[in-house]
Amino acid sequence: MSINGTTKLYGILGHPVAHSMSPAMHNAALAGMGINGVYVPMDVQPSDLVAAVTGLRALGFIGLSVTVPHKEAVMACIDEIDPVAERIGAVNTLLFRQRPGEEKVTVRGFNTDWLGSNLALAEKIQLAGSRVLVLGAGGAAKGVCFGLVEAGAEVLITNRTEQKGRDLADWLGCTFISADQLGSVRADALINTTSVGMNPYAENIALDPGLLENFKVVMDIVYAPLQTRLLREAAQAGCRIIDGLAMLQFQAAVQLKIWTGKQPSSDVLRQALLDELAGR
């Protein structure tokens, strides 16, 4: 698709941003949806964030993804916030909208991170009434655990740094599990939200492999490598597995729906991610 006078503008704000898979995924999806649009990565220093959002609004951008470290600070740059994003305290999606009859372009913030993990899991288990153990208590865990609670799952959280895990569990009304209690946990799903197992330390695993048989479904948010040791061992233990691209793909689909009103093809999004990974 060639860029011309009616090309719609989208992008991602982060720092750093060069590693992001989002441009590959969103550009493929926009093309697949027949939308004359382009999605560009923008490396923005935290001190420039307000100026960047103001400038992109003036330039007529339609939608932005927002990633680390801007997800909380960007809340000061928007006119409206989706109630769920407000409860989470983080925004990863901006929509620039000019309402009929109004001159001003309004910036609305959303959070689609929690929906990405819920939609990925929902392909394999019914979340309402299920029990899920989450490994980790960082930024990714926050979105994942929020989504699970929202969907009616019972959430157990464990983390290397106990206090951080307990704080997240308290915030959401979940249970904290200490390392010595892990052996007695049985659950429908296990989710690794830590970076353990990521290249170049791909032989590391976030949970004792001997415990994997205690879970029906295992999801990893690490996607490099795609088949992490956790997922390999889980498959051998008889678990159904969900790789780290699923969450990315589903949260991007929600963003595209917010920006365009249309549902992108899951296959196009996933293939773009696989192609991008293969080229790295």
| Catalytic positions | 71
To ligand ATR, the closest distance from the beta carbon of 192 in angstroms equals 9
DSSP class per residue in the chain: ----TT-EEEEEEESS-TT-SHHHHHHHHHHHTT--EEEEEEE--GGGHHHHHHHHHHTT--EEEE-TT-TTGGGGG-SEE-HHHHHHT---EEEEEE-TT--SEEEEEE--HHHHHHHHHHTTS--TT-EEEEE--SHHHHHHHHHHHHTT-EEEEE-SSHHHHHHHHHHHT-EE--GGGGGG--EEEEEE-S-TT-TT-TT--SS-GGGGGGEEEEEE---SSSS-HHHHHHHHTT-EEE-HHHHHHHHHHHHHHHHHSSPPPHHHHHHHHHHHHHT-
To ligand ATR, the closest distance from the beta carbon of 204 in angstroms equals 7
User: What does the alpha-carbon distance between residue 171 and residue 149 come to, in Å, rounded to a whole number?
Assistant: 11
Residue nearest to ligand ATR (CB): 138
Footprint of ligand ATR (CB under 6 A) = 136-141, 159-161, 164, 193-196
Q: Which is nearer to ligand ATR, 159 or 251 (CB)?
A: 159
Q: Which is nearer to ligand ATR, 164 or 240 (CB)?
A: 164
Q: Which is nearer to ligand ATR, 67 or 260 (CB)?
A: 67
* Phi and psi at residue 60, to the nearest 5°: 85, 20
To ligand ATR, the closest distance from the beta carbon of 195 in angstroms equals 5
To ligand ATR, the closest distance from the beta carbon of 194 in angstroms equals 3
Q: Which is nearer to ligand ATR, 30 or 121 (CB)?
A: 121
Q: Which is nearer to ligand ATR, 181 or 263 (CB)?
A: 181
Nearest residue to 23 (alpha-carbon basis) of 43, 38, 6, 4: 38
- Chain-centroid distance of CA 161 in Å reads 22
Q: Which is nearer to ligand ATR, 191 or 239 (CB)?
A: 191
To ligand ATR, the closest distance from the beta carbon of 55 in angstroms equals 27
To ligand ATR, the closest distance from the beta carbon of 206 in angstroms equals 6
